[in-house]
Amino acid sequence: MSFRVLADENVDHRVVHRLRHYGHDVEHVEFVPALGKGTNDEAIAQYSLSSDRLLLTSDDDFLTDLGEEEYSGLLFIEDETLSAERVSDIVYAIAEVVDQEDVEGVFYVSPEWLRD
């Protein structure tokens, strides 16, 4: 299974490249003409909804300032010390067991998803 993902500006570009390699359809906020670096969270959330993309971020404002109905689904990177490789492997692992349509609210991108 694959996800349609919108990576927030705080997501390492290596995560985007690895997820694409894994077969996911990924856009990075910095390279979406309607968004770009510095775009406010509300506009990013709205784009997530209108483009049916899960939002991948470590910005906790999406947890505290926006409601779950304001974005398509949230893949939240709680531990910002995770490497790009680890983050992309975790997202891949989530996609292996969860259809995008079933991602509602927040899914935490954490090592518990991996079968190390």
Question: 60-94, pLDDT tens digit by residue?
Answer: 888 888 877 778 889 999 999 999 999 999 999 99
Are residues 88 and 111 in contact, defined by beta-carbon separation less than 8 angstroms? no
pLDDT of residue 6: 97
- Residue from 81, 91, 83, 84 nearest 114 by CA: 91
Where helices occur in the chain by DSSP H, the ranges are: 13-21, 41-50, 61-64, 84-97
Average pLDDT over residues 48-54: 94
Q: What spatial distance separates the first Cα and last Cα of the chain, rounded to whole Å?
A: 20
pLDDT of residue 69: 79
Confidence of residue 96 (pLDDT cuts 50, 70, 90): very high
> How much is the pTM?
0.92
- Token pair for residue 59? 């910005």
Average pLDDT, the chain: 92
